[in-house]
């Protein structure tokens, strides 16, 4: 169980690395982890493990982003392209796939666990805050990349909002939601989660990552 914020988010570790997962035939995406067990010819699902793994990936990217913000704070030149890649990925995958699926999972979980309604409602609201803060930060960084004079403190302020919100959000989902979701959500609930958003491959951590994220993947590999 994780307590606290940044330090604990930084401690999120994938349950399996990508190579191990491929060897075991596991397909990642929230609510979509499935493994065909050839010896028994049945599909084994572990959506909570997949959910946790995505959080670990997001936390890793937030750490990379925070490091670039520290570079800005030190008055040096950050890797703006890396920051754009991270924020673009989080917008395209977390905002459009991971969070919408969580919204469905939260609604289902609230029906099973009425005591969690307030917590789940706040987390759902934070998805909108995170998206707005991410778009705001991305637009400021893209302006800086495009040659506009953007005061460093403006980028730092937007980044602080985004990072604090996101890291706190991940930590609370991990500590307050995942275990109870694993306990209470039914196969029908997980089917609804899976069906709520059209499945798209993860463009960075998926089996066939997109070429445009090659530099980001190289940086992730260097950190591993
Ligand atoms: Fe979330
Ligand atoms: Fe999440």
> What is the whole-number distance in angstroms between the Cα of residue 148 and the centre of ligand 1?
33
Helices 117-145 & 80-89 angle (0-180, nearest 10): 150
Burial profile 52-84: b = 16 or more Cβ within 10 angstroms, e = fewer: bbbbbbbbbbbbbbbebbeebeeeeebebebbb
Which ligand is the nearest neighbour of the Cα of 125?
1
Q: What is the 3-state secondary structure (H, E, C) of 113-141?
A: CHHHHHHHHHHHHHHHHHHHHHHHHHHHH
Sketch the domain layout of the chain as residue ranges: 6-223
- Is the pTM value of this prediction over 0.85? no
In DSSP notation, 64-113 reads HHHHHHHHHHTTS---HHHHHHHHHHIIIIIIIIIHHHHHHHHHHHHHH-
> What is the whole-number distance in angstroms between the Cα of residue 36 and the centre of ligand 2?
25
Nearest residue to 101 via CA among 188, 199, 214, 204: 199
pLDDT digits (tens, 9 = 90+) for 72-110: 999 999 999 999 999 999 999 999 999 999 999 999 999
pLDDT digits (tens, 9 = 90+) for 46-64: 899 999 999 999 999 999 9
> What is the whole-number distance in angstroms between the Cα of residue 117 and the centre of ligand 2?
16
pLDDT digits (tens, 9 = 90+) for 161-208: 999 999 999 999 999 999 999 999 999 999 999 999 998 899 999 989
> What is the whole-number distance in angstroms between the Cα of residue 173 and the centre of ligand 1?
7
Which ligand is the nearest neighbour of the Cα of 52?
2
Which ligand is the nearest neighbour of the Cα of 31?
2
Could you tell me which CATH class the domain 6-223 is placed in? mainly alpha
> What is the whole-number distance in angstroms between the Cα of residue 170 and the centre of ligand 2?
6
């Amino acid at each position: 169980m994780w307590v606290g914020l940044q330090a604990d988010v930084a401690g999120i570790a994938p349950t399996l690395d990508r190579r191990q997962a491929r060897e075991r035939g596991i397909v990642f995406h929230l609510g979509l982890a499935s493994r065909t067990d050839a010896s028994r010819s049945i599909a084994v699902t572990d959506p909570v493990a997949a959910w946790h793994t995505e959080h670990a990936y997001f936390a890793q990217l937030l750490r990379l982003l925070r490091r670039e913000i520290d570079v800005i704070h030190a008055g040096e030149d950050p890797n703006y392209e890396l920051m754009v890649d991270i924020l673009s990925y989080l917008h395209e995958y977390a905002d459009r796939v991971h969070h919408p699926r969580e919204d469905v999972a939260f609604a289902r979980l609230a029906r099973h666990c009425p005591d969690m309604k307030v917590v789940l409602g706040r987390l759902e609201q934070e998805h909108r805050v995170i998206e707005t803060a991410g778009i705001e930060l991305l637009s400021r960084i893209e302006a800086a990349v495009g040659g506009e004079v953007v005061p460093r403190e403006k980028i730092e302020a937007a980044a602080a909002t985004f990072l604090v919100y996101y890291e706190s959000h991940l930590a609370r989902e991990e500590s307050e939601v995942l275990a109870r979701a694993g306990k209470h959500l039914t196969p029908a609930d997980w089917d609804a989660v899976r069906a709520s958003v059209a499945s798209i491959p993860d463009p960075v951590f998926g089996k066939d990552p997109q070429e445009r994220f090659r530099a980001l993947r190289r940086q992730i590999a260097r950190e591993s």
